[in-house]
Structure 1
Amino acid sequence: MDMTLIGVILVVCMLLMLTSGVWVALTLTGVGIVGLQLIGNDSIGLLLGTSSWSAVTGWSLTALPLFIWMGEILFRTSLSRDLFEGLSPLLSKLPGKLLHVNILSCGIFAAVSGSSAATAATIGRMTLPELSRRGYDDTMSIGTLAGSGTLGLLIPPSIILIVYGVSAEVSIARLFLAGVLPGVLLIGLFMAFTTIWTLVQKRAGNVADEESYTFKEKISALKKLIPIVLLISCVLGSIYQGVATPTEAAAFGVAGSLLLSVVMGSFTVSGFLNSVSGAVKNSCMLGLILVGAHFLTLAMGFIGIPNALAEWIASLGLTPIELIVCLTLFFVVMGCFLDGISVIVLTTSVVLPMVTQANIDLIWFGIFLVLVVEMSQITPPVGFNLFVIQALTGKNILYVAKAALPFFFMIAIAIVLITAYPSIVLYLPTLMTS
């Protein structure tokens, strides 16, 4: 059967299954089965068994449930409140004040949770009511939370970077390092936009929250940041210094988060059991998706679609920049209908051969891919962060999307910058290998 016809049939099957509500993991498996049937391969059971085993038995994958569990434990502590109260006095001189607390709180919490949705939900529960009480603009309060909530995907330890690392077979430790500077860049862009917006509003006379803090209060606030700074230092520092692998660091993180919950007085038996339950559910969901993606990748290899597509892209003579532009548009559209992890596992088998053909560094591409997925997280109709914030605020989904739009463009600017200056991504990983 013609390769183009097979490709069209598989795309149609995938769309039909996804739109009919079939789980993403089962859709991936189903499309792989249809593809193998079309080429007359009758070893589907054997291939599914072997691919499933290899998909879930990689040592690097063991970091995934541990980091998820760490995030679940911290989700149930008073960490977000301490973050808010610790950062508020320190940022009181910046135009925008508590809006910057929103951004930095998300950035810091992202470094210990690894989840975009958990970051937005945890920080939003604390900051949105306080911002509203102090008279901050609702649109900007929601926008800063929606935009900076996506940092959970990029700032290590990121769950989605672990999934990409496993799928693309690249070093997770190097991916974590690669995400640091782009994460700082995004925080800087968000804060710069917030500062400019606030100064414009100040000229118009729309100023909120003129509260000031004494030097003693600022010093006292620093104490509340010590626990989370220590936890981040232990988890990420152990990886970057080569003391521990990502999996070992994740185990340290779980132990540290449990210790924090006890010290903060947030530890309860029910909370502990709920954290275990939440971690198991999320880990099983991601594990099933990875099994489906691994099987689809294997099926695509037998069919020959990735190589054929890579050869076709090569024949077009696209420059790496033109390919990146096309892939950006493709992933943003995909992200409008699928969650970020599904986008990555769904497309890796087809996209990576093109990327390799264009001599694009796979570490750099992983960070680029996460940034594009971040954009899709605040893009309707299936922007997960939009749903989280809608649930917190009760606002219309389009209202939330409109509030997040400026931060969508900030992420786009970050993509342009890392494309123009790849060293933003590759500098720290290069130090690790040198």
Structure 2
Amino acid sequence: MIKGAIFFLLIGLALSLPVAAVLAITGYYLSETYAFIPMTRAAGPIMWSHSNDFILIAAPMFIMMGELMHRSGVSERLFGALAPWFARVPGQLIHTNIASSAVFAATSGSSLATAATIGTVAVPNMDKGGYNRPLFLGSIAAGGTLGILIPPSINMIVYSVLSQTSVTDLYAAGFIPGTLLAMLFSGIVLFAVLAKPSLVKSKPSTGSLWPARIAGLPHLLPPLGLFFVVVGSIYVGLATPTEAAALGLLATLGLVAWNGKLSVAVLLSAFEGTVRTTCMIMLIVLAAFFLNLAMVSVGLVDTITTAILALGWPPLMMLLAIIAFYLLLGCFMETISMMIATTPIIVPVIIGLGYDPVWWGIVFVILIEAALITPPVGMNLYIVQAVRKSGSILDLFIGSIPFLLAMLIMIGLLIALPGLALWLPEIVNPR
């Protein structure tokens, strides 16, 4: 049974079939071959009931927020406002890339949108400042991954639905690790530039920077304001995550209008991008729900969980083996597909090992971040290369390596200090 399911998954992915189709075909195979009562007749009601899940309604609204922010001109002003704060730090604009990505991530919820938006602004400055291309481009691709760790996050919404955990707890859990990971990115850049000054030809500024810093502060207010509208409304009890997404979308529309960028063309372009991304995610989610039901009905999830736990490995060794599995899988599988296909199987194992599913959600998201910048399928690498428009993608493959190291360090910190992820959820939502 397990071999048959794996066979259908691998063959479907090898043939480059749509992931939703692969998941549905695998579910159909399990249902028709092993289930006492085939589940295919229940496919319609299953998909209808799960597509009505209230929390999933937040996903298209966060996606549209990112689409509108990408077209609003906010990113250019954000980048310009942050640049003076790092002008005296070795590596200057590379740190600005990371900081801009972190702030933009707090409004978009999407890694791809963050990488594309910040890359559009940052790449033209790369050669002007004499920056090492791999390191500069790698910082944009890695910074973009913060879009799914710093709340709000579309991936956390999907994980919440699949694992039956609280998205409010996940958002709280992601804040400190997301901030620390951005600091680790900058720390690695600083270490690299100090160790090899030739990586950056332009010298840190020596003039007075406070006038430029103060003048740029108003441009930091819109993205930070959106963050507090979305996340703040959740934690002060004014809104559920879905209602907060609606408030954030309304605030984003108001911001785009205030900047004079709201037009029929911009709205139509944002609608198109939102529908395209939402349809892709929802098709995969609904197919995954059918596959999950088929696996549960034939006892596959319990079989796998029991078999893994029966190995008798210590929990830490088992956890490290799962992490290594995801690092390898991330080299070859698209991230949202990887999350949806494996969460129903892995989460019961994680709980069986004694780990908190909210804590694992944060570790899992960092592993997905790593997959976004791991060749040969790392999507953020190709997004930044598309923005760059010329040159070898090997620059990005090489430039992503130090940031992958930072992600592994962050996972190590979370294993050693679980409170980094669990402290805030316990405060905002005592159990």
The reply on whether 1:208 has 2:206 as its aligned counterpart is: no
The reply on whether 1:283 has 2:278 as its aligned counterpart is: yes
> How far did 1:396 drift?
2.7
User: 1:207 is matched by which residue type in structure 2?
Assistant: K
Paired residue for 2:326?
331
Paired residue for 1:72?
67
> How far did 1:395 drift?
3.2
TM, length-normalised to structure 1? 0.96
The whole-number CA distance in structure 1 between the counterparts of 2:410 and 2:394 is: 24
The whole-number CA distance in structure 1 between the counterparts of 2:391 and 2:359 is: 36
> How far did 1:240 drift?
1.9
The whole-number CA distance in structure 2 between the counterparts of 1:380 and 1:37 is: 37
User: 2:261 is matched by which residue type in structure 1?
Assistant: S
The reply on whether 1:322 has 2:310 as its aligned counterpart is: no
The reply on whether 1:244 has 2:244 as its aligned counterpart is: no
CA contact (8 A) 1:300 1:349 kept: no
CA contact (8 A) 1:165 1:171 kept: yes
The whole-number CA distance in structure 1 between the counterparts of 2:422 and 2:377 is: 31
Paired residue for 2:32?
37
Change (3 A) 1:341 1:321: same
Paired residue for 2:139?
144
Change (3 A) 1:399 1:137: closer
> How far did 1:268 drift?
1.6
The reply on whether 1:421 has 2:417 as its aligned counterpart is: yes
The whole-number CA distance in structure 2 between the counterparts of 1:155 and 1:395 is: 31
TM, length-normalised to structure 2? 0.96
> Which aligned pairs between 1:223-242 and structure 2 lie closer than 5 A?
223-242=218-237
Structure 2: unaligned runs, 5 residues or longer: none
The whole-number CA distance in structure 2 between the counterparts of 1:362 and 1:42 is: 31
> How far did 1:209 drift?
4.3
Change (3 A) 1:14 1:80: same
> How far did 1:314 drift?
1.7
Which region of structure 1 is more displaced relative to structure 2, 91-100 or 377-386?
91-100
CA contact (8 A) 2:130 2:200 kept: no
Residue identity over aligned pairs, in percent, reads 36
The whole-number CA distance in structure 2 between the counterparts of 1:50 and 1:323 is: 37
> How far did 1:216 drift?
1.6
> Which aligned pairs between 1:282-321 and structure 2 lie closer than 5 A?
282-321=277-316
Paired residue for 1:363?
358
Task: Spell out, residue by residue over 1:47-70, the C-alpha distance to the aligned partner (whole angstroms, 9 max, x if none).
Answer: 212321222111111111111111
2:355 partner SS: coil
Paired residue for 1:3?
none
- Report how many aligned residue pairs link the two structures: 428
Change (3 A) 1:205 1:348: closer
> How far did 1:41 drift?
4.3
The whole-number CA distance in structure 1 between the counterparts of 2:367 and 2:209 is: 41
Paired residue for 2:148?
153
The whole-number CA distance in structure 1 between the counterparts of 2:399 and 2:429 is: 41
> How far did 1:272 drift?
0.7
The whole-number CA distance in structure 2 between the counterparts of 1:322 and 1:213 is: 53
The whole-number CA distance in structure 2 between the counterparts of 1:249 and 1:430 is: 21
Change (3 A) 1:416 1:56: same
The whole-number CA distance in structure 1 between the counterparts of 2:233 and 2:266 is: 28
Paired residue for 1:401?
397
Paired residue for 2:97?
102
- One of 176, 180, 186 as aligned partner of 2:181: 186
CA contact (8 A) 2:333 2:377 kept: yes
User: 2:202 is matched by which residue type in structure 1?
Assistant: A
Paired residue for 2:217?
222
The whole-number CA distance in structure 1 between the counterparts of 2:411 and 2:253 is: 36
Structure 1: unaligned runs, 5 residues or longer: 1-5
1:381 partner SS: coil
The whole-number CA distance in structure 2 between the counterparts of 1:7 and 1:396 is: 41
Task: Spell out, residue by residue over 1:301-359, the C-alpha distance to the aligned partner (whole angstroms, 9 max, x if none).
Answer: 01111111111122111222112111111112221122211111001121122112112
Change (3 A) 1:13 1:206: closer
Paired residue for 2:79?
84
The whole-number CA distance in structure 2 between the counterparts of 1:230 and 1:383 is: 31
> How far did 1:246 drift?
0.7
The reply on whether 1:132 has 2:127 as its aligned counterpart is: yes
The whole-number CA distance in structure 2 between the counterparts of 1:93 and 1:228 is: 24
- One of 338, 347, 372 as aligned partner of 2:342: 347
The whole-number CA distance in structure 2 between the counterparts of 1:46 and 1:205 is: 61
